[in-house]
């Protein structure tokens, strides 16, 4: 069993849903970023998603675009993200998913990426712009199920395609809550409930919902219909508002706790 | 872990014909590297494209529009004074600048908008650099009665101001994009983001042979009318095919349009990229000459990027060439050596711009001036019976401001 599977099993026993927390690694700078993600892990995040900054994040809204730009400016690159992963892994068993566009991974080298991610202690990767049609070139050299490719389904995904995606899933499935970029507003829990239910017909892999979830009450609403909740832009907004604040890590820690409470 | 049919099936190195495959790959290039939200729309578009491209009545309707609305065929014109000036090969100009809206872009926007209409879409969006694709999309949208939004970088809005006014007159909304350098790449980023949010009812009219499958193949097929006409005209006017074809390469659509119908002839082809202030300065847009393999805006191709896979900013005096990517099929042609790609600096393009104004009374687009400069180099080293066809992809009215600015600087 890999760390992600173990995590969902534990959560199931405790009758809790998963809090998946996303931040861009290196935002606002490598050091502060490390204290932020450490605080997230210590305050109840069940799965950590570490964003690899990219110059042209076409699937992201303004908040994550700006976080990516700050992290790049502060010198963060894929190797640095793996370094943060490696250090976190020394003190925490929280599953870590790398979150990236494909080009930085290609430039790093797909085989080297797989090897180095595993040795750093990462548990998987979500590549935003790598649909199943193209993902073979990344995963063809993967040897076992220790490292997962997290796949996405969207509200526009038709049912037969959902089946194809679900049947290839590993770790968990990421159900995008709305037709839009990250950080958009307007959750429709009835609609989302339908998508999740459809996906679950095709697989036993847990389904987490992300995009546009920002308050503990959103988290509670999604927890009622899915196996986990992904929060990204809301954390990034807090980082942006507290860039100069020395208490930034503990503020993020408290925010994490509030979300985690809503999953119970 | 389990894997699906996603494995690339192509064998790189087999040949340059017949691409893309079913998955949209041109050898190792191309493909569909987009967010899942867009995948169903691309699959739907692919189906519609295959259905209509083979459909005779669609082709007939499009042909009628190209003829009566856009002004095809465009002349193949023997530029005798220009040829005399370079004292070598015979330079012919394929006059795409004479088309309605002033550039080859209209061939593609009429095609895509007609397809959008058949698919029942009522809204179109587009990115634009020089503003030519924006104007051509706005024009097609006005013609078909569709709502139109054009994404354009703030720097390009500044340097191509006349086109911004034209788009507004045509009823399009021009959305300024401030991120990055405010140029074509940034406009395309923003158009893709907007499309992710509106994909259910909005058709994205991509302006070059770039982007995810089926765009590179579809735009090629809408532009290949340039080469098909050139074939016919050359045969009629000079009794044979040309010896050499030359076109500028931004995303690569005007070049692809001219080259494609001649691929299996023994004819030399040259693509002129923008060397900006010189490749050695790092301030250029010569993707094929100086780039490396990567993924941007939905397809795998040569790219301007750093060693970490971060996209570099392109630089060119010509807004339409100021782009760090290039169409995937050109990457294939480069690897096969089928097309030779050269780069032309800002100052050499400006020189060629002026030469054409003075010798032929034709004001070319700065993009096309890159092709002219490359053609004059070729002409200077070839005999008088060596026939060179240059794609004069657009007219230069839009560039008068920037030319004046550069001349004054
Ligand atoms: C007149 C003209 N030529 C060429 C280009 C470059 O595009 P492509 O390489 O796709 O032909 C543009 C783009 O805006 C243009 O306006």
CA angle A26, A32, A37 (to 5 degrees): 75
Helix (H) or strand (E) holding A3: helix A3-14
Q: Which of B34, B36, B179 sits opposite A153 (nearest CB)?
A: B36
Closest CB to A164 among B4, B7, B34: B4
Give B-chain residues touching A156 at CB under 8 angstroms.
36-41, 199-200
Please answer yes or no on whether A55 and B311 come within 8 Å at the CB atom: yes
Kindly state the greatest CA–CA separation across chain A: 50
Task: Count Cβ–Cβ pairs < 8 Å, chain A vs chain B.
Answer: 146
Per-residue pLDDT of chain A (264 residues; tens, 9 = 90+): 899 999 999 999 999 999 999 999 999 999 999 999 999 999 999 999 999 999 999 999 999 999 999 999 999 999 999 999 999 999 999 999 999 999 999 999 999 999 999 999 999 999 999 999 999 999 999 998 899 999 999 999 999 999 999 999 999 999 999 998 998 888 899 999 999 999 999 999 999 999 999 999 999 999 999 999 999 999 999 999 999 999 999 999 999 999 999 999
Residue B318 confidence (pLDDT) above 50:
yes
C-alpha B241/C-alpha B234 separation (Å) is 6
Strand-strand pairing, B387-392 and B90-95: parallel
Best residue among B131, B188, B250, B371 to mutate for probing ligand 1's pocket (most ligand atoms within 8 Å of CB) is B250
Q: How far apart are CA B318 and CA B325, in angstroms?
A: 15
Active-site residue (options: A5, A27, A60, A123) = A60
Tokens linked to A153: 């389904």
Q: How many CB atoms lie within 10 A of CB B199?
A: 23
Triad B344, B315, B399: Cα angle to 5°: 75
Q: Which CATH class is domain A18-261?
A: alpha beta
Measured between alpha carbons, how far is B224 from B255 in angstroms, rounded to an integer?
9
Q: Which of B66, B131, B116 is nearest to B96 (CA)?
A: B66
Residue ranges of domains in chain A:
18-261
* φ, ψ at B305 (rounded to 5°): -150, 165
**pLDDT tens digits, B181-235:** 899 999 999 999 999 999 999 999 999 999 999 999 999 999 999 999 999 999 9
Of A125, A49, A108, the C-alpha closest to A84 is A49
pLDDT digits (tens, 9 = 90+) for B115-161: 999 999 999 999 999 999 999 999 999 999 999 999 999 999 998 99
- Cross-strand pairs, B138: none
Buried-exposed string B67-99: b where 16+ CB fall within 10 A, e elsewhere: eeebebbbebbebeebbebbebbbbbbbbbbbb
Unique residue bearing structure tokens 């590297």: B33
Structure tokens of B389?
Answer: 């066809």
Residue A120 tokens read as 């750093």
Angle (CA) B65-B68-B74 rounded to 5° is 100
Distance CA B250, CA B316 (A): 10
Question: Which residues have C-beta atoms less than 6 Å from ligand 1?
Answer: B 103, 129-130, 132-133, 208, 248-255, 320-321, 365, 367-368, 393-394
- Does the model's ipTM exceed the 0.95 cut? yes
């Amino acid at each position: 069993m890999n760390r992600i599977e173990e995590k969902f099993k534990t959560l199931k026993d405790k009758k809790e849903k998963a809090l998946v927390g996303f931040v861009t690694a290196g935002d606002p700078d490598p050091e502060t970023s490390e204290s932020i993600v450490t605080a997230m892990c210590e305050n109840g995040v069940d799965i950590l998603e570490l964003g690899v900054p990219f110059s042209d994040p076409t699937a992201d809204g303004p908040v994550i675009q700006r976080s990516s730009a700050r992290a790049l400016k502060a010198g963060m690159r894929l190797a640095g993200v793996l370094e943060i992963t490696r250090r976190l892994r020394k003190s925490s068993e929280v599953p870590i998913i790398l979150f990236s566009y494909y080009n930085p991974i290609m430039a790093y080298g797909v085989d080297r990426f797989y090897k180095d991610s595993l040795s750093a202690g990462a548990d998987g990767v979500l590549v935003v712009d790598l649909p199943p049609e193209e993902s073979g070139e990344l995963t063809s050299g993967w040897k076992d199920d220790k490292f997962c490719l997290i796949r996405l389904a969207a509200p526009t995904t038709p049912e037969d395609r959902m089946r194809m995606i679900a049947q290839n899933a590993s770790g968990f499935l990421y159900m995008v809550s709305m037709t839009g970029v990250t950080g958009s507003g307007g959750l429709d829990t009835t609609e989302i409930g339908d998508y999740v239910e459809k996906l679950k017909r095709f697989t036993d892999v847990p389904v987490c919902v992300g995009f546009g979830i920002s308050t503990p009450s959103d988290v509670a609403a999604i927890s009622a219909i899915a196996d986990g909740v992904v929060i990204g832009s809301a954390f990034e907004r807090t980082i942006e508002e507290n860039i100069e604040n020395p208490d930034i890590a503990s503020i993020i820690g408290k925010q994490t706790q509030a979300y985690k409470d809503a999953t119970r | 872990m389990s894997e699906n049919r996603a494995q690339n099936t192509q064998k790189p190195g087999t040949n340059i014909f017949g691409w893309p495959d079913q998955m949209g790959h041109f050898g190792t290039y191309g493909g569909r590297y987009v967010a899942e939200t867009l995948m169903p729309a691309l699959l739907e578009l692919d189906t519609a494209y295959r259905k209509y491209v083979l459909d005779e009545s669609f082709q007939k309707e499009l042909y009628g529009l190209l003829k009566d609305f856009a002004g095809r065929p465009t002349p193949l014109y023997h530029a005798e004074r220009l040829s005399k000036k370079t004292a070598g090969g015979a330079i012919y100009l394929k006059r795409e600048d004479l088309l309605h809206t002033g550039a080859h872009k209209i061939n593609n926007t009429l095609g895509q908008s007609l397809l959008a209409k058949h698919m029942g879409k009522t809204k179109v969006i587009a990115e634009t650099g020089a503003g030519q694709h924006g104007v051509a999309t706005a024009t097609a949208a006005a013609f078909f009665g569709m709502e139109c939004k054009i994404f354009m970088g703030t720097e390009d809005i500044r340097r191509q101001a006349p086109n911004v006014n034209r788009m507004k007159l045509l009823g399009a909304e021009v959305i300024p994009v401030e991120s990055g350098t405010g140029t074509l790449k940034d406009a395309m980023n923003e158009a893709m983001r907007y499309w992710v949010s509106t994909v259910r009812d909005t058709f994205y009219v991509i302006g070059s042979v770039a982007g995810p499958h089926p765009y590179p193949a579809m735009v090629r097929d809408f532009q290949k009318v340039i080469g098909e006409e050139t074939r016919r005209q050359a045969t009629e006017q000079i009794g044979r095919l040309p010896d050499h074809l030359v076109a500028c390469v931004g995303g690569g659509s005007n070049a692809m349009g001219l080259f494609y119908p001649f691929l299996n002839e023994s004819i030399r082809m040259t693509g002129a990229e923008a060397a900006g202030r010189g490749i050695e300065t790092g301030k250029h847009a010569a993707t094929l000459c100086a780039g490396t393999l990567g993924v941007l805006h939905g397809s795998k191709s040569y790219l301007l990027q750093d060693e970490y896979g971060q996209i570099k900013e392109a630089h060119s005096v010509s807004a339409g060439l100021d782009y760090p990517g290039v169409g995937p099929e050109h990457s294939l042609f480069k690897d096969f050596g089928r097309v030779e790609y050269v780069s032309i600096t800002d100052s050499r393009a400006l020189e060629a711009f002026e030469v054409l104004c003075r010798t032929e009374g034709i004001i070319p687009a700065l993009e096309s001036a890159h092709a002219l400069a490359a053609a004059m180099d070729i002409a200077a080293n070839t005999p008088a019976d060596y026939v060179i066809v240059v794609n004069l992809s657009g007219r230069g009215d839009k560039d008068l401001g920037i030319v004046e600015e550069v001349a004054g600087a």
